[in-house]
C-alpha cells in the first residue's frame, strides 16, 4: 500500500493534493489524481451518495481490485475496437452461454441510455423481480457497471467473477487475431455474474452502436432505442439514419421495439428493420408518451401514457423534460416485458409504478452536489445532450448567473457541445479531466475562446482549481444572488468532480 503524507489539520487540504499524487508513484497517475482529490476536497463537499461506491475499505480487497483494474487497462480501451462479436461470442461459448439463462431488455441510442436503464431496473425490482443492470461508462468505480438488485456489484464479487473467467479469457486471446478488449471482458463478466446471481432479467446498455457491440450476443425480447443523434460519427456514420442502421442491430426477430422520438431518417431505418424481423413496434408519441408534466420540488410530476393506459401523479426525482421522456420509454419497455398491450390489456399496478419512479436516481445527470452556490453535475458529452441540459436549467434552477466548468474528451464534438451551452453560461472555466482520453486544456481553451469570446473564458488545468474558480465567479454578486455552477463535458469530468464535491 502507498504511504500518504500525514494529514495536518492546520493546513488547507488542497495544499496536500500534489503531495498525495506524488506519493502514488507506483500507480496509474490518472487514478492517483482522482483519489488524491477525493481525500482532500471530500471533507469540504460531504460524502458521495451511497448510490455510487468509492474504493473498498478493506486493504486486501482494494489491492485485489486494483490488480484486476490494471489487467483490464492493459487491453484495448473503449474507443479502440474491431467491429465484430466473434471474440465475445467465442468466450461466452466456452463459458456455456450464460447470457441465455435469463431474459433481457437491450437498450441503445445516443443519449439517455443509462437513465432509462436505471428506471427500467427500478420498475422491475418494484414488481418483485431480481434485475441485473450493465451500463457504461462508470462515474466513480468500475464496479458500477455491473449492478445486482439495484446496487453496484461488491468489489469482492467483481474480483471473483474476473478470476473465475480469466483462464477462458486467455484461451480466447490465444485463438483470436486480437485480444479481447476491455469492454468485451467486462461484458462477459456481467453476463457471467448475472447467471451466477441469478437474476430474473438483465437490463443491458450497449457500449457503442448495436450490430457489432459486444453486448449484442443476447436475444432480448424487448429492444429499446433512446433518441439518436450525432456521436461517434467516425465509427457509426455521419447522419442519424446511418447511425440508426448500426443501432438497429439489437432488434431481434419477434421482439418488441420501444422507440423514443427519433429524427425522421433514423425512424425510417429502425421501422424497416423491425418489419424485416417481424418485430412489434411501440412509438413514443403514438402508442405511448408523456401526457403532462409539472415541475415539482426535487424533480417533476408526470402523467404518462403507457401501452396499457394512463399513469397519473408519477413523481420522478430527476430534472428536465428529457428525463420525462426517458420515463415514458422505460415504462413502455417494462410493460412490453410483462406483455401489456399484447398478452394482457390491463395496465401495471399504479401504486407500484409510482413507488418505483419515486426511487430512481441517476448520478451525474443534473445532480445537485452543493448549495450556496448551487453546484450541479451533468455528464453531457455531445451537442444533443448539451442542448437537453441547457434547455432544462432555467426550469429546474432559474440561475441568474451560471458558470460552466467544462472538461471534454478529445474524440468528441467539443465545439458543438460548447455552442449548445454558450447561451446559458455567463462564463466558462475550461479544464481537463484525469484520464488519458481528456482533451488538452489549451486546445479546449482555444475552441472555447472562439465560441464564447476571450473575456468569458478562464483556464484552469486542474479540475479542483476549476471548480473553486467557478464557485468564486458564481459568488461575485453575493452569496444569495442566484449564481450557480454546472460541471459538465464528460462522464469523467463529472466523476472527478463528484469525488471532490459529492454529497449524499
- Provide mean pLDDT across the span 182-211: 95
What pLDDT, on the 0 to 100 scale, is given for residue 234?
58
| pLDDT beyond 60 at 27 | no
What pLDDT, on the 0 to 100 scale, is given for residue 8?
47
In the chain, what percentage of residues exceed pLDDT 70? 86
- Provide mean pLDDT across the span 11-30: 40
What pLDDT, on the 0 to 100 scale, is given for residue 130?
98
For CA atoms 29, 39, 135, 69, give the dihedral sign: positive
| pLDDT beyond 70 at 336 | yes
Strands 401-406 and 427-430: parallel
Q: What is the pLDDT of residues 145-166, one digit of tens each?
A: 999 999 999 999 999 999 999 9
What pLDDT, on the 0 to 100 scale, is given for residue 51?
63
Strands 374-377 and 367-370: antiparallel
pTM: 0.85
- Burial 366-380, CB ≥16 within 10 A → b, else e: bbebbeebbbbbbbb
- Provide mean pLDDT across the span 303-307: 97
Q: What is the pLDDT of residues 188-200, one digit of tens each?
A: 999 999 999 999 9
Confidence of residue 84 (pLDDT cuts 50, 70, 90): confident
- Residue 33 contacts residue 49 (beta carbons within 8 Å): no
What pLDDT, on the 0 to 100 scale, is given for residue 33?
34
Q: What is the pLDDT of residues 94-127, one digit of tens each?
A: 999 999 999 999 999 988 999 999 999 999 999 9
For CA atoms 46, 51, 54, 55, give the dihedral sign: positive
Q: What is the pLDDT of residues 383-410, one digit of tens each?
A: 988 999 998 998 889 899 999 999 999 8
- Residue 63 contacts residue 26 (beta carbons within 8 Å): no
DSSP 3-state assignment of 211? coil
How far is the C-alpha of 359 from the C-alpha of 252, rounded, in Å?
Answer: 31
Which range has the worst mean pLDDT, 45-49, 70-74, 219-223, 281-285?
45-49
Angle (nearest 5°) at CA 412 between 443 and 470:
60
64 versus 341: the higher-pLDDT residue is 64
Angle, helices 414-421/383-396, rounded to nearest 10 degrees: 20
- Please enumerate, as own/partner, the contacts of 293-296 that have beta carbons within 8 Å and a separation of 24 or more: 293/321, 293/324, 295/395, 295/396
- Burial 177-198, CB ≥16 within 10 A → b, else e: eebbbbbbbbbbbbbbbbbebe
Nearest to 403 by CA among 447, 448, 363, 437: 448
In the chain, what percentage of residues exceed pLDDT 90? 69
What pLDDT, on the 0 to 100 scale, is given for residue 48?
40
What pLDDT, on the 0 to 100 scale, is given for residue 9?
42
Q: What is the mean pLDDT of the chain?
A: 87
What is the enclosing helix (H) or strand (E) of 289? strand 289-296
How far is the C-alpha of 222 from the C-alpha of 231, rounded, in Å?
Answer: 24
How far is the C-alpha of 121 from the C-alpha of 202, rounded, in Å?
Answer: 9
What pLDDT, on the 0 to 100 scale, is given for residue 139?
87
Amino acid at each position: 500500500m502507498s504511504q500518504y503524507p500525514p494529514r495536518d489539520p492546520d493546513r488547507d487540504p488542497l495544499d496536500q493534493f500534489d503531495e498525495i499524487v506524488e506519493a502514488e508513484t507506483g500507480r496509474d497517475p490518472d487514478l492517483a489524481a482522482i483519489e488524491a482529490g477525493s481525500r482532500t476536497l471530500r471533507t469540504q463537499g460531504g460524502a458521495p451518495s451511497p448510490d455510487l461506491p468509492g474504493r473498498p475499505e478493506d486493504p486486501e480487497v482494494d489491492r485485489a481490485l486494483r490488480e484486476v483494474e490494471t489487467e483490464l487497462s492493459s487491453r484495448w480501451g473503449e474507443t479502440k475496437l474491431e467491429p465484430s462479436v466473434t471474440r465475445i461470442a467465442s468466450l461466452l461459448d466456452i463459458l456455456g452461454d450464460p447470457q441465455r439463462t435469463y431474459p433481457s431488455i437491450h437498450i441503445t441510442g445516443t443519449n439517455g441510455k443509462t437513465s432509462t436503464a436505471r428506471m427500467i431496473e427500478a420498475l422491475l425490482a418494484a414488481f418483485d423481480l431480481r434485475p441485473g443492470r450493465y451500463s457504461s461508462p462508470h462515474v466513480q468505480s468500475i464496479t458500477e457497471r455491473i449492478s445486482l438488485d439495484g446496487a453496484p456489484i461488491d468489489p469482492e464479487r467483481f474480483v471473483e467473477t474476473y478470476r473465475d473467467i480469466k483462464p477462458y479469457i486467455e484461451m480466447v486471446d490465444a485463438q483470436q487475431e486480437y485480444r479481447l478488449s476491455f469492454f468485451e471482458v467486462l461484458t462477459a463478466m456481467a453476463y457471467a455474474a448475472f447467471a451466477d446471481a441469478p437474476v430474473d432479467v438483465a437490463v443491458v446498455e450497449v457500449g457503442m452502436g448495436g450490430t457489432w457491440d459486444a453486448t449484442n450476443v443476447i436475444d432480448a425480447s424487448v429492444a429499446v432505442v433512446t433518441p439518436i443523434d450525432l456521436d461517434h460519427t467516425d465509427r457509426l456514420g455521419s447522419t442519424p439514419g446511418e447511425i440508426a442502421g448500426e443501432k438497429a442491430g439489437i432488434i431481434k426477430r419477434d421482439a418488441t421495439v420501444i422507440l423514443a422520438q427519433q429524427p425522421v431518417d433514423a425512424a425510417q431505418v429502425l421501422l424497416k428493420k423491425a418489419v424485416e424481423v417481424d418485430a412489434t413496434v411501440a412509438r413514443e408519441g403514438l402508442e405511448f408518451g408523456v401526457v403532462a408534466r409539472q415541475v415539482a420540488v426535487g424533480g417533476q410530476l408526470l402523467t404518462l401514457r403507457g401501452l396499457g393506459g394512463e399513469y397519473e401523479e408519477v413523481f420522478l426525482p430527476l430534472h428536465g423534460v428529457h428525463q420525462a421522456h426517458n420515463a415514458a420509454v422505460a415504462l413502455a419497455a417494462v410493460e412490453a416485458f410483462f406483455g401489456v398491450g399484447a398478452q394482457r390489456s390491463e395496465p401495471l399496478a399504479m401504486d407500484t409504478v409510482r413507488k418505483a419512479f419515486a426511487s430512481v436516481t441517476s448520478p451525474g445527470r443534473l445532480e445537485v452536489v452543493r448549495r450556496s452556490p448551487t453546484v450541479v453535475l451533468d455528464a453531457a458529452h455531445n451537442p444533443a445532450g448539451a442542448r437537453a441540459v441547457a434547455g432544462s436549467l432555467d426550469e429546474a434552477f432559474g440561475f441568474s448567473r451560471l458558470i460552466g466548468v467544462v472538461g471534454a474528451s478529445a474524440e468528441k464534438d467539443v465545439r458543438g457541445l460548447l455552442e449548445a451551452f454558450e447561451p446559458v453560461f455567463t462564463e466558462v472555466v475550461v479544464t481537463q479531466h484525469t484520464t488519458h482520453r481528456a482533451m488538452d486544456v489549451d486546445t479546449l481553451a482555444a475552441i472555447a475562446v472562439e465560441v464564447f469570446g476571450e473575456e468569458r473564458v478562464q483556464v484552469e488545468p486542474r479540475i479542483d482549481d476549476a471548480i473553486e474558480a467557478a464557485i468564486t465567479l458564481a459568488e461575485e454578486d453575493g452569496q444569495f444572488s442566484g449564481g450557480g455552477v454546472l460541471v459538465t463535458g464528460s462522464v469523467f469530468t463529472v466523476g472527478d468532480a463528484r469525488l471532490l464535491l459529492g454529497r449524499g
